[in-house]
Chains A and B, each alone.
Chain A
């Protein structure tokens, strides 16, 4: 059972909320910066980040990537499938998120 404090909410342009584990979110350097700032972001407590620029499908894929990346890090080799149409936006999102 994942506790509330260990989750982060990522909100897409349309307003879709994706709830993922904190550890997964930290794969993105940008998110890491936001969530671990010692300056005291209000959102560090709430654990909620909005991305008005990123659409839901992309964001969904990104979340999947986070989990895939964690799995890969622990040794399990799997393939991460990306639809060709998605590639460009996904890359841009990845760049933005520094993932």
Chain B
């Protein structure tokens, strides 16, 4: 009626013989030797054997020995069978063997830990020992992984480089292998990072450094950029295919550094195909690509914006010079043609502005850095313009510019100022050249009406307070003082109307 009271005591070796049979059968199954799968009768027998051996009286409580022999079973199997098999093979074959052995090992751990399960319940807690599953993993880690990891890492990196060169490789295999690195870490990414990722990143940097060195010499800026973009795309895909997701950020940064950061200036300043050339030739797609690539690097866009600003400034100043030359060469001619010149100038400037604004919005995605650059460029242009205008007006005394011409130039100036909305600029220039200007305005034969009308124009377009103040001056000294005070105050007073 009751359970078998006289439980025969199972001696260690006796019980172990039973377990050994199970272990051998398991190994056979893993090695592919034909064997029956385990049935529940056997399972119960193994479980029972362990159970009994652990619940016997203290002298015959073989828990400790069983725990040790459990671990030794793995060690023995690994040393006699697994490691030799792995050592024989190399490269890709070795990787395949490794993946298979790892999977087998996991199965073995699962079965044996089920048989020895009773140990897991009380013994390990009592002695604060690692659980059976962990023990199994650690055996593999300390015996197999420790020995093989360098070779494995090298084999994987070699395959990656081959794929970079265009070869087809077994991506599923790599994914499995890298999975082992992660699993061996037992919850931690340390193993993956130290034993693989670090080396992989180094290799990647070397690879791309080498490539970049030759590309930068041979290729034009657009071609180089195309290649760079392609590489970044491929590396990102690589992460998706088999690298661990955590590597993505670091990998892309390495590639960016080697291809873009190191060579940025060299690239942008390429004579016939660099940034400036692209702007000249209106290569919208290439410029967009340039923006996309360099916005990934911290402060990567600053040089690009600088070139952009310089380009716009140069273009603008060229227009100013053209108009100035035309104006001074036409000085003796009819008023009409002179007026037309200036109108053409205004038109050109507006065109330039629109074109550049288009660049900013389409290629540079309305990046504020480029809006700034554009604004600064036009400030420079208008500075140049004002200087030129003042020069012309200065010469006005000896050259007799038509009233209309002066008015028109003032009109242009006013327009540009309205556009810029920065009255500081105006005040600044008055300060620089106001003396000579004032004297030319007041002393030349163009005094009186033109003076007032040009200032009139300016008043219409710009801040009324400045112009009113200036109109009241009679001496150049007074004039100067007024301007200086205004210059200091205009920053606060003037309303900065931005063109947007």
Interface residues of A (CB under 8 A from B): 13, 30, 33-34, 37-44, 48-51, 53-55, 57-58, 89, 92-93, 95-96, 98
Contacts and interface: CB of A to CB of B under 8 A. Distances in A.
Contacts of A40: 37-38
30 contacts: A30-B47, A33-B43, A33-B114, A34-B40, A34-B44, A37-B38, A37-B43, A39-B107, A39-B110, A39-B111, A40-B37, A41-B39, A41-B43, A42-B39, A42-B40, A43-B39, A43-B40, A48-B40, A50-B40, A51-B44, A53-B3, A53-B4, A54-B3, A55-B1, A57-B1, A89-B2, A89-B3, A93-B3, A96-B51, A98-B121
A98 B51 CA distance: 11
A50 B3 CA distance: 14
Contacts of B38: 37, 39-41
Interface residues of B, number: 22
DSSP class of B's interface residues: helix, strand, loop or mixed? helix
B436 interface: no
Of listed B40, B47, B48, residue having the most chain A CB within 10 A: B40
Given A43-B39, A43-B40, A33 B117 contact: yes
Q: Which 10 pairs show the lowest CB-CB distances between chains A and B?
A: A43-B40, A42-B39, A40-B37, A34-B40, A89-B3, A49-B40, A33-B114, A41-B40, A34-B43, A89-B2
Nearest to A38: B110
Contacts of A42: 36-37, 39-40
A55 B3 CA distance: 6
Contacts of A33: 43, 114, 117
Interface string B161-191: 0000000000000000000000000000000
A43 to B, nearest CB: 4
A39 to B, nearest CB: 6
A90 B55 CA distance: 16
B3 A41 contact: no
Given A42-B39, A53-B48, A37 B3 contact: no
B146 to A, nearest CB: 28
A48 to B, nearest CB: 8
A14 B47 CA distance: 20
A55 to B, nearest CB: 6
Contacts of B37: 39-42
